[in-house]
Amino acid sequence: MYLLNCFFIYSILGFIVEGIFTLIISNHFSSGILYGPWTPIYGIGAILTIIISNKIFKKMHRSQLIETLVTFIILTLVLTFIEWLGGILIENMFNETLWNYKNYKFNIGKYISLEMSLIWGITSIFIICFVKPIIDKIVIKIPKIMTITLSTLFVIDLIITILIK
């Protein structure tokens, strides 16, 4: 249940943060393709961040600086791949492009740019060091019925999105 609850918390947090950022930049609130208050790519990215960082910190036994640097590099690559894959899947499934980095100086196609990759790497370290400890205290208090309810609503949202869009 821990990872599923993390998925929902980070998906909802990603929805809120991206929505506020979009509101500031373009004067409208928008995040993701689903109808509910979640953006799954953030939940997936957070879960991968948690799993990968746990594996690195448990196995390396090096200085914290080296472990953090290795974690940063690996997560930058993994999260960039997830962003690229997400962009392609959304375009192919829904015929929509939700982000496009073609105007960025260091883009690799429309779904990847060095600038955003660095942001994902920095964000992953920020999440590991500052956000995860707070979220972990919340996750253990989430009742099972809430997880089941959110899971049900999420699956319904996925089905409706796939059928309508």
Using a 10 angstrom Cβ sphere, with 0-12 exposed, 13-18 middle and 19 or more buried, the burial of residue 140 is exposed
Q: How far apart are CA 62 and CA 72, in angstroms?
A: 15
* pLDDT at residue 53 greater than cutoff 90: yes
Contact 112, 83 (CB under 8 A): yes
Mean pLDDT over residues 3-13, rounded?
98
For the stretch 66-100, pLDDT in tens is 999 999 999 999 999 999 999 999 999 999 999 99
The pLDDT of residue 165 is above 80: no
How confident is the model over 55-73, as a mean pLDDT? 88
User: pLDDT at position 12, please?
Assistant: 97
The answer on pLDDT for 30 being more than 90 is no
pLDDT at 64 exceeding the cut of 90: no
SS3 86: helix
CA–CA distance, 101 with 108 (Å, rounded to integer): 8
What was the pLDDT predicted at 163?
92
Q: Which residue has the higher pLDDT, 12 or 57?
A: 12
Percent of the chain's residues with pLDDT above 90: 88
The average pLDDT across 31-48 equals 95
- Share above pLDDT 70 across residues of the chain, in percent, rounded to a whole number: 100
Instruction: Tell me what pLDDT residue 63 has.
Output: 87
Q: Say what the pTM is.
A: 0.92
**Residues paired with 113 in a beta bridge:** 107
Angle at 86 between CA 153 and CA 117, to 5 degrees: 125
- For residues 143-155, give the mean pLDDT: 98
